[in-house]
Amino acid sequence: MASPPHTIVGAVLDDVGQPVPDAVVAIVDAPVQVQDIAALTGADGRFVITVVEPGGYTILATAADSRSARVSVQVDLDAPETEVEVHLTGTTAHDDGE
């Protein structure tokens, strides 16, 4: 019998904590074989991905300007929802580095 669905909910943020809209958030590693699972962040940088098995997942978030970050997420059997923040790093339009 399959587990009930779980959701991974969260936000993609830039290096100063601002939401990143239109970022692609994809599962790149899962505890079981899954089809391609991805979501697009809204204007508020938030996303929701539904998964069917508890366990460890790796999420890759990629912004339109190619900045990306990976995070590991543990989805627990007892928790129908898991919250995560993905912080992108790298050069941005407001970067002080020269």
Each residue's pLDDT tens digit, 12-22: 999 999 999 99
Report the pLDDT averaged over residues 26-55.
92
Domain 6-87 CATH (choose: 2.130.10.10, 3.90.1150.10, 2.60.40.1120, 3.30.470.10): 2.60.40.1120
Query: Hey, what amino acid is at 16?
Result: V
Alpha-carbon gap, residue 10 to 78, rounded angstroms: 18
pLDDT tens-digit readout, 66-76: 999 999 999 99
| Size of the chain, expressed as the number of residues it contains | 98
| Residue 15: Cβ within 10 Å count | 15
How crowded is residue 8: how many other Cβ atoms within 10 Å of its Cβ?
A: 22
The residue extents of the domains of the chain are 6-87
State the Cα–Cα distance between residues 16 and 24, nearest whole angstrom: 19
Q: What is the dihedral sign for C-alpha 57, 10, 62, 71?
A: negative
CA 34 to CA 87: how far, in whole Å?
A: 24
Q: How confident is the model at residue 3 (pLDDT cuts 50, 70, 90)?
A: low
pLDDT value of residue 94: 40
